[in-house]
A = this chain, B = another copy of it.
Amino acid sequence: MALEDMVDACEAIDKAGYYSVECWGGATYDSCIRFLNEDPWVRLRTFRELMPNTKLQMLLRGQNLLGYRHYEDEVVKRFVLKSAENGMDIFRVFDALNDPRNLEQSMRFVQVAKEINPNVHAQGTICYTISPVHTVEGYVKVAGQLLDMGAESICLKDMAALLQPQPAYDIIKGIKETYGAGTQIQVHCHSTSGVTLVALQKAIEAGADVVDTSISSLSLGPGHNPTESFVAMLEGTEYSTSLEYDTLLDIRDHFAKIRPRYKAFESAVLVDTDILKSQIPGGMLSNLEAQLKAQGAGDKLREVMEEIPRVKADSGHPPLVTPTSQIVGTQAVFNVLMGPYKRMTGEFADLMLGYYGASLGERNPEVVAIAEKQANKPVITDRPANHLEPEWESLVAEASKLEGYDGSEEDVLTYAMFPNVAPTFFSGRAAGPKSVAMTEAQLKAAQEGGGASGIAGPVNYKISLGGREHTVKVEPA
C-alpha cells in the first residue's frame, strides 16, 4: 500500500491507544523499492513523525534482516542501528528454523540501539508450526533461549494460522509458569483458517499480554482478526482493552474507503482450513501449481503435495515459512519430476548441510550424504554466519558506483538487501512514489461495470467495417 494511502490515518492511529503499530520491516521494504518507487527509510521517518506517541514495530528476519540470505554481522549491526536512528522502537526478531544462533547478533545489536533510542525493545520470536517433533515443551524451551539472549518480550508467531485454541493456551501458560508471570508475551496469528480468533481468546485467558489484530476494514482472510471485535468481545471482562472505540471507527472508515482500490491484490479465499490438514500454506500451494504448470506438469500437483511431507521430514521438520517453504516445495517438485534427490537445488543442499541453521528434527543422513556430494560442501554445525567474510566495505564500494546513490548508509543497506532491485530504484527515485492502486476514478468505472467509460485509457483496436480493416485508437471521450 502506498504511503499516501496511510498518512491520513496516522493521527487517529496514534491516538487510539495501541500498544504498538507494526508498520515497517517484513516484506514492506522490498515492496517499497520494487513496486512503489518509495524510499523505505522515508516511510519509516514519516511514520515516526506522524505517530509520536505510539511505539513503532517491525519484523526482522534475524541474520537475514529483510533480505533473503544471511548477512555478515557488521551489516546486521548497521541495519539495526540505522532503523533505531530513523525511529524504530520494537524489533520483532525471528528465524525460520527457530535457531537461536540466527537471532543472537540482531538481538545483541538491538540492545546496543537503546543508546540511540531509549524506547528500543528487543522482542524474541517463536515461529509456530505443527510437526512430530514440535511440542509445547519445545516451544517453551525456545522462549527460554530468547529470554537468555536478552529478549524483553516473547512473540508467538503463527504465520500460517495453524494455532489451535488448546496449544495456544498451553504454550502461553507454559512460558508464564516457567519464566514468571511477568514475562511479556505477544501473540501474532493470521486468520486464514478461521480458528485463530478463538486461539487468541484462549491465549488471553492463559495470560498473553498483547495480541496482534487488524482494523476490521483490513482484516480477515490471509490477514489478521478484527481489532474492534476484540475490543467488543473483551469489554466488561477482566481483559477489557483501553483502546478508544470511536477512534478505531475513524481508522476503520479510512481504510474501508482505501481497500477497494487495491482489489487486484485481494486473496480470493476468505477461509481456508486445508492448511490445518496438509500443513502446506496456501501461498506455497499456488506457487507450486504455477511452477508445475510452467513445466507442463500441472497434473503432478497431488504427487508433489504427497512428496512435501517426506521432504519436510528428511530436512528435520522445518516450519514452512519464507524461505524454507520455497526451498522444501521446489525440492519436492524436483523429486517428483526427476526422482528422489536425483537433483538438489543449491538452497536445499544448503538446508541439509546446516547453512540455514539447525533444524529441530534430525535430518535424514542418507539425504545429507547426497547433499554433500552434489554441492561439494561439508556439513556445518556452528552458526552459519560464522562462515561469512566481512562485506560492508565492498557493499559500500558497489553501491557507490550506482546512478542515483545518495551516499547514505541507508542506501548501502538498501543495496545490500536487494542488489538486483536497488540500481533501478536509485536511478529512478527522483520520479517519486507511484501507487499500484486504482485511482478513485478507475474504481468508480470498475464498480459501474465499465459502463462509464468502458475503458480506462487509450486502446488500439482493429475494426472491420464494410469488409475493410482499420486500426483505431480509442479513449474515453
A274's nearest neighbour on chain B, judged by CB, is B249
Decide if A271 touches B219 in the complex (CB within 8 Å).
Answer: yes
Taken residue by residue from 456 to 477, chain A's Cβ proximity to chain B (1 for < 8 Å, 0 otherwise) reads as 1101111111100011111111
Decide if B462 touches A475 in the complex (CB within 8 Å).
Answer: yes
For A271, list chain B residues within 8 Å (CB): 216-217, 219-220, 226, 228-229
A439 at the interface (CB under 8 A from B): no
Give the shortest distance, in Å, between A467 (CB) and chain B (any CB): 11
A320 at the interface (CB under 8 A from B): no
Decide if B477 touches A461 in the complex (CB within 8 Å).
Answer: yes
A418 at the interface (CB under 8 A from B): no
CB contact between A195 and one of B233, B455, B456, B461 (< 8 Å): that residue: B233
Interface size on A, residues (CB 8 A): 58
CB contact between A461 and one of B193, B233, B475 (< 8 Å): that residue: B475
Decide if A228 touches B273 in the complex (CB within 8 Å).
Answer: yes
Decide if B201 touches A232 in the complex (CB within 8 Å).
Answer: no
Report copies per complex.
2
Decide if A277 touches B245 in the complex (CB within 8 Å).
Answer: yes
Give the shortest distance, in Å, between A41 (CB) and chain B (any CB): 34
A225 at the interface (CB under 8 A from B): yes
Decide if A461 touches B449 in the complex (CB within 8 Å).
Answer: no
Bound state CA distance, A194 and B215, in angstroms?
Answer: 12
For A460, list chain B residues within 8 Å (CB): 477
User: Can you add 13 more A-B contacts, CB < 8 Å, to A228-B271, A232-B277?
Assistant: A194-B197, A194-B216, A194-B219, A216-B272, A220-B270, A228-B273, A256-B269, A454-B474, A461-B476, A461-B477, A462-B474, A465-B472, A471-B477
Sample of 29 A–B contacts (CB below 8 Å): A164-B236, A165-B201, A165-B233, A166-B236, A166-B237, A193-B232, A194-B197, A194-B216, A194-B219, A198-B198, A198-B201, A198-B233, A216-B271, A216-B272, A226-B271, A226-B273, A228-B273, A245-B277, A450-B454, A450-B455, A451-B455, A460-B477, A461-B477, A462-B476, A462-B477, A463-B472, A463-B474, A464-B472, A471-B477
